[in-house]
Amino acid sequence: MFNRLQSQSSFQEDLSFLIPPNQINQMPLELQELCELYNADHCNDVDKADSAATSDWPVSLFVPTQYEENYAYPLLIWFHDDFSSENELDLVMNAIGDQNYCGLAIRGNKALKEHDTYGWSRDSLEFGKVPLKQLVNVTARRLRRAFHIHSERIFAAGCGSGADVALQLFAECPEWFAGAVAIDPACRSDLHLGNPDDLRGKNVLQTVSRTSSNETLANNLNSVRLLRSTGVDIDVRVTEEPLDPCCNDARFIDNWLLSKLRCETFV
C-alpha cells in the first residue's frame, strides 16, 4: 500500500506541494477524500512572498496505511544522518511503528560526495536563505491542514548528525514540540535554549553507544545535564552498538512515545 510521499515543499494553492496529483489515486480512499477536501480550499493564511513558503526543499511524508480520520495523530519530524536522505523515512517509520504516527522528513542541507546522499552543515542550519526552523514551521502547518495532526504531539527526531539537528530545533523552539528523540547524537555544539517555561516538563529520549569516543560520551553527558537543568525529562538509553533507526531494534521508541502520549494505539 502506498504510504510515503516525496515531493517539493514549494507553495501551491492545493495539496500538490506535498502530494503530486498523479500520486493521490494511489492512496487509501479516506486519504483521497481528505486531499480532495483540502484542495477545495485555498491556503490564504500563508504568505506567498515568505521565503520559507516558497522554498523548494525536498521533503517526504509518511501516512499510516490504515489512516483513521477521527484520530489526532502524533507527528514525527525526522532528520536523517549523514550519507542518507529524506527517502529513508518509510524505513524509519515502519521500524518504529507504522500505524501510530504520521512522519515528515526534510533533506539535509549539505550534499555529500556519494550519489544522492546528504548531511547537515555545522555552520548554518539554513536552506539557501531560509532558516530550518521557518521551513519546518510552514511545512508542518501545511501538513496539519491536510491531515489530522495533534498539535501538542509533535516530536523532533533524528539519528547521528540529524539527532543533533533535532535536539537543537527542540531546544530553540520547545513551544512547538512535545519532546524529541535523539539517536546517537554527537552533541559537539552547545544547545541554544528557548523559553525555560516551555522546556520544563517536556520529554526527550536520547541514546548513546558504548562504542562512542570519550569525547562523544562527555558531550552527551553535558547535553543531558543542560536539558535536565531546565526541567526537561530525559530518558537516556545506553546501547552496545550505534542504533540503526531503520531496523527492528528501533521498536522500543514506539513504546517510549506511547508512554509519553498516553494515547490509544491501532497496532
Look at residue 142 in the predicted model and tell me its pLDDT. 85
Question: Which tens digit of pLDDT belongs to each residue from 156-208?
Answer: 999 999 999 999 999 999 999 999 999 999 999 889 999 999 999 999 999 99
For residue 251, give the nearest of 233, 235, 267, 264 by alpha carbon. 267
Is residue 29 a contact partner of residue 36, using CB atoms and an 8 Å limit? Answer: no
- CA–CA distances in Å: residue 31 to residues 25, 35, 116: 9, 6, 30
CA distance 180 to 195: 16
pTM of the entire predicted model? 0.81
- Domain architecture of the chain: domains with CATH: 4-261 (3.40.50.1820)
Look at residue 55 in the predicted model and tell me its pLDDT. 58
Q: Which three cell numbers stand for residue 124?
A: 548554518
- pLDDT tens track of the chain, all 267 residues? 233 334 333 333 445 545 555 566 666 665 665 665 555 554 444 444 455 455 567 889 999 988 888 899 999 999 999 999 999 999 999 999 888 999 999 999 888 988 889 999 877 777 767 888 888 988 888 888 889 999 999 999 999 999 999 999 999 999 999 999 999 999 998 899 999 999 999 999 999 999 999 999 999 999 999 999 999 999 999 999 999 999 999 999 999 999 998 754 444
CA distance 206 to 191: 14
| Burial readout 15-32 (b: 16 or more C-beta within 10 A, e: otherwise) | bbbbbeeebbeebbeebe
Look at residue 33 in the predicted model and tell me its pLDDT. 57
Look at residue 6 in the predicted model and tell me its pLDDT. 43
Look at residue 50 in the predicted model and tell me its pLDDT. 54
SS3 assignment, position 80: coil
Look at residue 9 in the predicted model and tell me its pLDDT. 35
